[in-house]
Amino acid sequence: MRRLIILLLLPALQTTAQYSVRFVVTASATRFNEDIYLSGNFNNWNPKDENYKLKPFGGSRKSIVLKDVAAGTYAFKFTRGSTASFESTADGRDIADRVVEVTGDVSNEFTIAGWKDDYPERPKRYTASTQVRIIDTAFNIPQLNRKRRVWVYLPKNYASVGRAFPVLYMHDGQNLFNEQTAYAGEWGIDECLDTLQAKLGKECIVVGIDNGGEKRMQEYNPYDHVQYGKGEGAAYVDFIAKTLKPFIDAKYRTRKGADYTYIAGSSMGGLISWYAMIKYPDIFGGAGIFSPSFWVSPQVAVDATMYKTSTKPRFYFYVGQKESPTMQPDMEKIVQIFKKQPQYDIRTVINPLGEHKERYWREEFPSFYKWMSINW
């Protein structure tokens, strides 16, 4: 009889509990007749995900019910469909992420005090250091028939020494050096490197490429996607490898080999950095892959399995545990595939407090740089 009871209990023990979570907005200071969306670490902070659009719910309220939610802690905010229209305090200041603890079925009510776009933005400061300059505001991308602003950071002693430097290529250039152009917070790459390079004696050039705005999801995605359209990632990576890198190598004193050429980015930028390594292993010797959006296609795992190279590639994987529930397992799946190749140099960092935000990637960048530069 005891054996029978144990056998009957096993299926229940092996099943992960799933719950329903209801979010109800009872009132908003303004614009309550406009669409309201839920944005959080469960949908990669997408501000206009139609699957998370609130619906009318009894009288003047609006709500959404998330079903089959695993137990855990989830961060979120309300928005009207863009990063500029997130909720705010009554006087337009940013609010901390709202948090819901899911240990069973949950139903919570909320009021929205204000919206960010109801208040004029304070002018942002120009914070790029003197080591940063803009190569071109309209650098031609022949592979995509578009133009883009491209930035470059040069080490402090670049003009006074005659030697060549490694190069790090980074995406979302708007966010790297200058608070005035940053749309989601600045990484502070220039200030960080001014300090780190003096301490380590390891210097490099950083090239920042602006994202394409509304084209970002396509340009950073090598795979076609039902929601975001045809993937243009392959052409974007071709641009970096075949157009931009030769230009940088000709204009500046660079160490041109793969061991001295790295690429890095976050979220979709992490995905396309990973893909650049896959497509051009003889050009890019290492990558900083921060919170990669491996969710975009199952083809990611297929390509990771098929990827074979005689080189010794280096991968720095980072993820925060307070990002979407699938972010960490998706990344760890790729890491485990790569670990089967003994010559790959892999470092994995999991931040228990990390969220899907520039702030956390900025905090992690110094550790990545120390790891990246160790062999220079």
Q: Which residue has the higher pLDDT, 99 or 9?
A: 99
Exposure string of 123-133, with b = 16+ CB inside 10 Å and e = fewer, is eeeebbeebbe
What is the pLDDT confidence band of residue 41, given thresholds at 50, 70 and 90? confident
Q: Which residue has the higher pLDDT, 300 or 42?
A: 300
What is the pLDDT confidence band of residue 120, given thresholds at 50, 70 and 90? confident
Amino acid 373: pLDDT: 96
Amino acid 124: pLDDT: 77
What is the pLDDT confidence band of residue 6, given thresholds at 50, 70 and 90? very low
Quickly list DSSP for 231-242: --HHHHHHIIII
The whole-angstrom separation of Cα 276 and Cα 164 is 23
Quick: pLDDT tens for 264-285: 999 999 999 999 999 999 999 9
Amino acid 320: pLDDT: 96
**330 contact partners, CB below 8 Å, separation of at least 6:** 292, 294, 295, 300
Range(s) of the chain covered by CATH 3.40.50.1820 = 132-375
The whole-angstrom separation of Cα 53 and Cα 34 is 11
Residue type, 259: D
In this predicted structure, the answer to whether residue 352 has a pLDDT above a threshold of 90 is yes
Query: How many CB atoms are located within 10 Å of the residue 231 CB?
Result: 22
Q: Which residue has the higher pLDDT, 319 or 183?
A: 319
Question: What architecture (CATH level 2) is domain 15-118?
Answer: Sandwich (2.60)
Q: Which residue has the higher pLDDT, 307 or 8?
A: 307
Amino acid 1: pLDDT: 46
Amino acid 12: pLDDT: 43
Pick the CATH number of 132-375 from 3.40.50.1820, 2.60.15.10, 3.40.50.2300, 3.40.50.300: 3.40.50.1820
What is the pLDDT confidence band of residue 121, given thresholds at 50, 70 and 90? low
Range(s) of the chain covered by CATH 2.60.40.10 = 15-118
Q: Where do we find the tokens 């229209």?
A: 85
26: exposed, middle or buried (Cβ count in 10 Å: 0-12, 13-18, 19+)? middle
Is residue 345 within 8 Å of 315, Cβ to Cβ? yes
Q: Which residue has the higher pLDDT, 366 or 228?
A: 366
Average predicted confidence (pLDDT) for the chain: 92
Amino acid 95: pLDDT: 87
What is the pLDDT confidence band of residue 16, given thresholds at 50, 70 and 90? low
In this predicted structure, the answer to whether residue 109 has a pLDDT above a threshold of 80 is yes
In this predicted structure, the answer to whether residue 8 has a pLDDT above a threshold of 50 is no
In this predicted structure, the answer to whether residue 107 has a pLDDT above a threshold of 80 is yes
Residue % of the chain over a pLDDT of 70 = 95
Q: Which residues, listed in sequence order, are joined to residue 86 by a DSSP beta bridge?
A: 79
What is the pLDDT confidence band of residue 78, given thresholds at 50, 70 and 90? very high
Residue % of the chain over a pLDDT of 90 = 78
Amino acid 11: pLDDT: 46
